[in-house]
Every structure is written in structure tokens, then in C-alpha cells.
Amino acid sequence: MKNIRVAVDVGGTFTDVVIMDESTGETRIEKTSSTPDDPMLAILNGIEQGGIDLSKVSMFSHGTTVATNALIQRNLPRTAMICTEGFRDVVEIRRANKEDLWDTYKDVAKPYVARRDRLVVKECIDANGMVIEALDEADALRVAKVLKKRKVASVAICFMNSYTNGANEERMRDIMHSVMPDIPISISSQVLPEIFEHERFSTTMANAVVSPVVVDYVERLEGNLADGGYERDLLLLHTGGGVMTPASVKDFAARLAGSGIAAGAIASRFIGNLCGFDNSIGFDMGGTSTDVSLVYEGKSRVTKDWYVEYGCPIRFPSIEVLTIGAGGGSLAWKDEGGSL
């Protein structure tokens, strides 16, 4: 009988494994040190430490910081962008603003894809979705061969006005796959079919850069759970507060960029509602960072203006959380000038 539910939260310092017996309602928690080099090892250690028989598990859910950490640390595989000719610098120009407008010494974060890896092809679709110029397939094939020679690990395809008609992007993807069959490709008309090219291009770029990292991690974890006897879907918490399966992660990897952060906000709202508070502030302090969230009239605030680094928006719906880089394991000190 499958009567065990397991939930795992991987933090920067500790990995928590919550185990609930559905038949008795008993809940227990196992805590183990996180393994930053490979977070999956801490999960497997926690499962072993908790004596969990995976063949009896009815649900396994997981909040992960793998995508978040990859973006923060810029520990990303080499990724390319293919854009409409004349528009490869959309992610560099952005909206020509800064987080602190008057700080002349602070630059906006660089795009996740270097300019030398943002290539262009000839094509044109107007704002109504009419194909003015079909994709130049000879040009597209040339670009695909260049990227194969560069051994890129992932590709983002971002064409102007593709949110109205993704035909040219889809054809570019087919040509890329004819040259590099196994490479993950994110196309903006699928990832974020919305107007405003900067946000669409940036979200697709973020999706492409984390895809190899996240998909590899999720597939290895799913395989290890299956080898241990788990027979159902691995459920991964996404930034919006819902869950997604490994199959969805292949197309929308960047939705995991705030996975672990959203979990604390959801728990805070749930506890506040249980206590009769429709308006509450969530304060989720881990060993490495602290997340603050707001609940108003019983609902978590949701935003689409979300980013890991300012200037690189990820426009998937996300529970609004403010994160600061100080937690229970942080140390305070005085500098030479006596400031804390």
C-alpha cells in the first residue's frame, strides 16, 4: 500500500525531508547537510537516513534551488541565441534603465548569453503575424553549423513579433535539430508568447541557459527515485506556487528559478490562514538567506516583474518574495572603519 508522502526542501545549508504517513497522520522530519556540488546526494542521504521505502511513497514533491544558484553564480553552460537580423542586442539594450538610476558606478548585469554567441538570421513577421519574409534557410543552416562547431549546450531562438506567429522560429528549431539533434532549444513563441521583445527575449534566454543544468539534475533524481522503487511522478515546485513534472521542465526550466523561495511563502500563508490572519508577513530564514513575503486578504502577492539579477527579467508568474543574502549561518563583523 502506498501511504507515505515525502517532501524535500534543499537549502544552501541543510536539506529537509518531511515524511507523512497518510494512514496515521504521523509526520516526522529528517535533516541532513546540503551537498552544493550535487544537491541530489543530500536528498538520497535524507531518504536513507529516514528509512523511507520508496515503493510505498504515494507522492514525492521537491523544492529546488538548482536553477536559482546556477543563475546567481553564473555557473552556466555555453548557450547561444539566434535572433532576427538587427535585433541581437535587445537583451543588451534592455529598457535603458538601471536599478539605481543615479549610481554611475554600478552597471546592470550582463546578459546570460555573450554577444559573440548571439547570432542573426534573415526573416520578418509583422505585428499582425503576416510573414513578410520567410526564414532564409541557407542562412539558418550556416548559423546551425557555426553553433555546432562552437559546441554550445543550449540555444534560445528569439524572433521579432513571433508571439503572433511562431512559424519562423519553429522552422529555425527544426534546422538546428537537423544539425544538432539532441540540443535543448527554447523558442520565445512557446516560452512566453507575449508582446514586448525585451521581456520575451530575456525570459527565453534564461530558460535556455538553465535548461541543461536543471534537466540533467531532474532526470538523474527521477532515475534514482525510480531505481529505489518510486513509481509516480516527481513533483517540482515552481515559482508560481504550483507543481510541474520532469516532462514540463524540459520546456520551461526557468520556472524552477524561484522554486525553493516560493515554498516558504506558501507555508507562511497557510499557517497565517490557519491562525485566522488574512494579512500576514512571511519571514523564512535559512542558513544562507532570508525570504520575506506578504499575504493580503488571504492571498499571496503574485508578480510577473521578477528576476534573479536586475536587467534580466523572467516573466513567468511568481509569488512575490524579497530575498536578502543573510541567514542563520551568516556572520557579522566590523570593518576597519568600525562599521557593522
Query: Could you give the CA distance from residue 236 to residue 218 in angstroms, rounded to a whole number?
Result: 9
CA nearest 87: which of 173, 192, 200? 200
**pLDDT score recorded for residue 191:** 96
| Nearest one of 191, 300, 232 to 2, comparing CA atoms | 232
Q: Which residue from 263, 265, 261, 285 is spatially nearest to 273, judged by alpha carbons?
A: 265
205, 254 contact by CB (below 8 A): no
Residues 6+ apart with CB under 8 A from 330: 288
**Is residue 215 within 8 Å of 250, Cβ to Cβ?**
yes
Question: Do strands 4-10 and 131-133 pair parallel, antiparallel, or not at all (unpaired)?
Answer: unpaired
Q: How far apart are CA 293 and CA 265, in angstroms?
A: 6
Q: Report pLDDT for 328.
A: 75
> Are residues 268 and 295 in contact, defined by beta-carbon separation less than 8 angstroms?
yes
For residue 107, give the DSSP letter: P
Each residue's pLDDT expressed in tens, for the chain with a length of 340 residues: 789 999 999 877 889 999 999 999 999 999 999 998 899 999 999 999 999 999 999 999 998 888 888 888 888 999 999 999 999 999 999 988 888 888 888 888 899 999 999 999 999 999 999 999 999 999 999 999 999 999 999 999 999 999 999 999 999 999 999 999 999 999 999 999 999 999 999 999 999 999 999 999 999 999 999 999 999 999 999 999 899 999 999 999 999 988 878 888 888 999 999 999 999 999 988 777 788 999 999 999 888 888 888 899 999 999 998 877 777 777 888 888 888 7
With beta carbons less than 8 A apart as the criterion, state whether 228 and 212 touch: no
Q: How far apart are the first and last CA of the chain?
A: 56
Alpha-carbon separation of residue 252 from 41, 69, 244, 276 (angstroms): 24, 17, 9, 36
Q: With beta carbons less than 8 A apart as the criterion, state whether 209 and 185 touch.
A: no
Predicted pLDDT of residue 207:
96
CA 218 to CA 234: how far, in whole Å?
9
Q: Which of 311, 264, 260 is nearest to 62 (CA)?
A: 260
Work out whether the CA dihedral 150, 152, 156, 157 comes out positive or negative. positive
SS (H, E, C) 236-262: EECCCCCEECHHHHCCCHHHHCCHHHH
Q: Kindly give the interhelix angle for 66-73 and 259-274, rounded to the nearest 10 degrees.
A: 130
Q: Give pLDDT, residue 12.
A: 75
CB 131 within 8 A of CB 168: yes
b/e per residue 96-114 (b: at least 16 CB within 10 A): eeeeeeeeeeeebeebbbe
**CA 259, CA 64: separation in Å to the nearest integer?**
6
The three grid cell numbers given for residue 2, joined into one nine-digit string:
502506498
Q: Give residue 103's pLDDT.
A: 86
Grid cell 551568516 is found at: 330
Coil, helix or strand at residue 275: coil
Find out whether 175 and 134 touch, Cβ atoms under 8 Å. no
pLDDT for the residue 117 = 97
pLDDT value at residue 72? 84
